Amino acid sequence: MKAIILNLSAWVMLPIMDGFAKYLSSTLPVLQITWSRYFFTVVIVLPIMFFFFKKNLKWTEKPKLQLIRGLLLFCANILFFYSISVISLAKALTLAFIAPLIVTILSPILLNEKVGFRRWAAVIIGFIGSLIVLRPGFVEINLASVAALGTGFLYGIYLIVTRKLHNSDHPLLTLLLTGVVGAIIGSMIVPAVWVQPTITEWYMMFAIGFFASIGHLLLILSLRYADASKLAPFGYFEIITNIIIGYYYFNHFPDNWTFIGLFVIISSGVYIFRREALNKPN
């Protein structure tokens, strides 16, 4: 129960970060918002590591994988923050939920895992779910929707890389290094688009890093009490907080087609998680 509470709490925190990002996107460039997410993550996580987990504050055993992981998440964040600057939080997140399907598609190549007929069928059904949300031919597909799908694609690869790091580096070290990679890359490119924030916007930029840090720390703590495969389906709880924030602060509420597509994508994703948890051929 403790693992579930911690995990669900994380999925309450992270959509708040998205809400601040969407609000700021009307006045600040997406790259600047993304930079703040990583810069303030390092500002928050580094002292925690130094004072409470100093023994884990060491050089990674797999620097190349950490760099790749950081790059993937940084690019995924740029795409997602761009998508929510144009379309609703719920639609963007629903399309990004294809990540587990991407993991299933690429795991035979990158993880040498066998994927049976049932999981391939779940991938196809999940893809149909994304088509229901997009409704190509009936609704004009914009760049923001494509960016949301791109987020799911990159996040799927990010999850695969995270699996490879699971047994080598401490999760908190991985969180810190991911922030460092994003902060360094962001600091290199953000001067080209920099817009001077107001005091309120600075507070919001800090809040983005704060809720990102707290959310990921709660996820890490939840994994101390339960396996990732058992907790993974709870990640879909994020859509509830997402819908609430979108409705109350941006007057966005998903249409029926988005709900249907969301149901199809979540169903296929949960099935894939359950099959992986069984850890046997199918």
**pLDDT tens digits, residue range 52-64?**
777 767 777 788 8
49-53, 121-125, 201-205 — most confident range: 201-205
Question: According to the model, what pLDDT value does residue 78 have?
Answer: 96
Is 0.85 topped by the overall pTM? Answer: yes
- Taking CA atoms, 77 is separated from 9, 16, 74, 108, in Å, by 21, 14, 5, 26
Question: According to the model, what pLDDT value does residue 236 have?
Answer: 82
Q: What are phi and psi of 142, to 5 degrees?
A: -100, 170
Cα angle 63, 68, 73; round to 5: 125
> Of 76 and 105, which is predicted with more confidence?
76
The total number of structural domains in the chain stands at: 1
| Per-residue pLDDT at 44 exceeds 80 | yes
| Per-residue pLDDT at 20 exceeds 90 | yes
Whose tokens are 């249907």? That residue is 260
* Section 57-79 average pLDDT: 88
pLDDT tier, 138 (very low <50, low <70, confident <90, very high otherwise): low
**Alpha carbons 68 and 70: distance in angstroms, whole number:** 5
pLDDT-wise least confident of 30-39, 146-155, 261-270 = 261-270
Expressed as residue numbers, the domain containing 116 is 2-278
**Alpha carbons 118 and 160: distance in angstroms, whole number:** 20
Share of the chain above pLDDT 70, in %: 93
CB contact at 8 A, 36 and 74: no
* Section 209-221 average pLDDT: 89
| Per-residue pLDDT at 197 exceeds 80 | yes
**Alpha carbons 260 and 55: distance in angstroms, whole number:** 48
**Alpha carbons 35 and 22: distance in angstroms, whole number:** 14
| Per-residue pLDDT at 157 exceeds 70 | yes
* Section 132-155 average pLDDT: 83
